[in-house]
Structure 1
Amino acid sequence: MPAPATPPLALRYLRASPLPHATALASAAVCIALALAALGHLDDGSRRAATVYGALAAGWLGLACIALLDGFSRYREYRRIKAMLARHGWNRRVFALVAGSRCQRDAALQAAHEAGHGHRARRFFRALGYRWYHLFPDAVTRNPLRFFHPRFLRTSFLPGKALRARRRA
């Protein structure tokens, strides 16, 4: 079966990481609403309320930036997996490495779809028990504080480098 036609770059970027980009969009909307509320309180002369709303807006802006960085990391991972599939063909070990995170699964599924292995990848993840509603990474589900561990952050934002470092050790 021939591989489907490659979509434009912007569409590939968004398809490789839909969840982080949706999170960034929602966070930016909340940030704008809070910033407008802060400006409204400044006009009323309530500096304390404006400061609180401004701090909350800054927090939501930070979340939006982190989500965008995660989206960019997923796009890099999509490109890496797509190159591996083009070079070596289907290999379940590639997909086993990214199975623990919804964002990584989305990137791998998009790469597999464009390489002509979309059905195999979906069947593989389904056989592992993953469904559409499994949003959080497995490590975070087991231990929510794991989200702040340096190794988790390294594998999330620098996936290729983390794998190379693990192979050298």
Structure 2
Amino acid sequence: MLKSEIIKIQPSAFIIKANIFIRFIKVGGILHLMTMMGIFLFWIGLQNSIFFFENNQIKYALLWLFVCCYGFTLPFFAEFDAYGRYQNYKQIKDTLYKYGFDTRLVAPFMNSKCQRDAVIVAATDLNLKEEVKELFYTNGYRWYHVLPNAFLKNPFILFKKVFWERILFTKFYHLQNFYW
């Protein structure tokens, strides 16, 4: 809803925060699932590494300790990425509201599955979901296209600073026309 419409209703701070949280969960669904998987890996890795250390099986203990460390770091990366996709959601929502649906506006957000999910949530809020899904379909994107385009073109982009800045350290975007 527009701020001008919501001001008439006068929602409480709780309602505003709850709607922001719901959008954050919708935008980063896959990433939040990865966070839960990371916590699970951490827990299993910790339990198994302790067990193998107690039984003096150092090789297996170190392997499970590695799994534990991976499970510990995965939630941080996933949630930083979810925060970045939420910023993309807010930006594209304001842009689509201001200028209407245009393929040129959506094109910069077609690079990864998470960005496309953010665009779909924003388009759903503005009743533009069908147009956006049709655009993704005509550009060849299906449900199984998960990896970012940049990674498919150059797998070594993971070792570049620009990639990580764009993924993990997305700048805050303040919504101009909406509360959530």
Q: Please give the range of the TM-score, normalised by the shorter of the 2 chains.
A: 0.7 to 0.9
Counterpart Cα distance in 1 of 2:95 and 2:168: 19
Q: RCO (CA 8 Å, sep 6+): is it higher in 1 or 2?
A: 2
State the superposition RMSD in angstroms: 2.4
Is the 8 Å Cα contact of residues 77 and 160 (structure 1) preserved in structure 2?
no
Matching residue within 165, 171, 177 for 1:154: 165
CA-CA distance at 1:22 after TM superposition: 1.6
Counterpart residue type for residue 111 of structure 1: A
Deviations 1:66-96 (A, max 9, x none): 1111111111111111122222222322210
Deviations 1:111-130 (A, max 9, x none): 11111111111111111110
Unmatched tracts of structure 2, length 5 or more: 3-15, 173-180
Please show how residues 122-137 of structure 1 align to structure 2 within 5 Å: 122-137=133-148
Partner-residue secondary structure (3-state), 2:97: helix
Is the 8 Å Cα contact of residues 77 and 168 (structure 2) preserved in structure 1?
no
2:30 is the counterpart of 1:19: yes
Identity %: 23
Report what 1:83 is aligned to. 94
CA-CA distance at 1:65 after TM superposition: 1.3
Unmatched tracts of structure 1, length 5 or more: 162-169
CA-CA distance at 1:106 after TM superposition: 0.6
CA-CA distance at 1:99 after TM superposition: 0.9
Counterpart Cα distance in 1 of 2:57 and 2:167: 41
Please show how residues 88-127 of structure 1 align to structure 2 within 5 Å: 88-127=99-138
CA-CA distance at 1:134 after TM superposition: 0.4
CA-CA distance at 1:155 after TM superposition: 2.3
Counterpart residue type for residue 13 of structure 1: F
Q: Number of residues paired by the alignment?
A: 158
TM-score (norm 1): 0.81
Partner-residue secondary structure (3-state), 1:13: helix
Matching residue within 23, 38, 59 for 2:70: 59
TM-score (norm 2): 0.76
Shift in CA distance, 51/23, structure 1 to aligned 2, threshold 3 Å: same
